[in-house]
Amino acid sequence: MEQIIRHFGRGIAAVAVALFLVAFLFGGADGKQGLLRMTGAAIKPGSICYTDYKDYKVLQTEAAKPEPVLTETFGERVLVAGQDYKVTDYITAADKDGRTYDFLLEKVLDKTGNEVVAYGQTQDGMLCFEKSGIYTLRIAVSNDAGKRKRYQIAVSVARKQESGGEG
């Protein structure tokens, strides 16, 4: 017995201390209350009344603003490869109240999903598609309240011969 206590005495003492701590923290003497339950019961959960804040009304009015909706008219005319097109002639962004917003042309992708940079966006808001095919325009619109929406528009571009143009 002495040999067992010499070899495993520290381990047995550590287990006994661990059991005591667990009982003290969670159980208590009557088995119903431990230290954690007693301190948890003393802390009352508080409720936050957000309507008391001064800027809550501003937040409500900003959140009630309608989100912008994008309208595109690329399908109404035939686009021809190699010609310049002004983006704002084909795309408008407005909310249901009629207020118009600026939009951002984020990317122009070809049919394989590659980004078209050389003939995609230009500084003056013009688009020029080098080849015929179907392109995808990725556009972001946000209103003054910060509501942002992203759209993808498919644009079909024809060759000059298909559209009846010269060449």
What CATH number should be reported for the domain holding residue 100?
A: 2.60.40.1080
Same domain? 72 vs 152:
yes
Distance, CA of 71 to CA of 139 (rounded, Å): 11
Provide the domain limits for residue 14: 2-46
Q: 102 to each of 16, 85, 136, 143, 159, how far by Cα in Å? A: 71, 17, 19, 8, 30
pTM tops 0.75, yes or no? no
Pairing of strands 148-158, 79-80: parallel
What is the percentage of the chain residues whose pLDDT exceeds 70?
80
Domain-located, residue 100: yes
Same domain? 81 vs 152:
yes
pLDDT of residue 38: 67
Same domain? 74 vs 36:
no
Domain-located, residue 163: no
pLDDT of residue 12: 87
Same domain? 73 vs 125:
yes
Question: Over the stretch 122-142, which tens digit does the pLDDT of each residue have?
Answer: 556 788 888 888 888 888 888
Same domain? 154 vs 89:
yes
Same domain? 88 vs 15:
no
Same domain? 38 vs 81:
no
DSSP 131: S
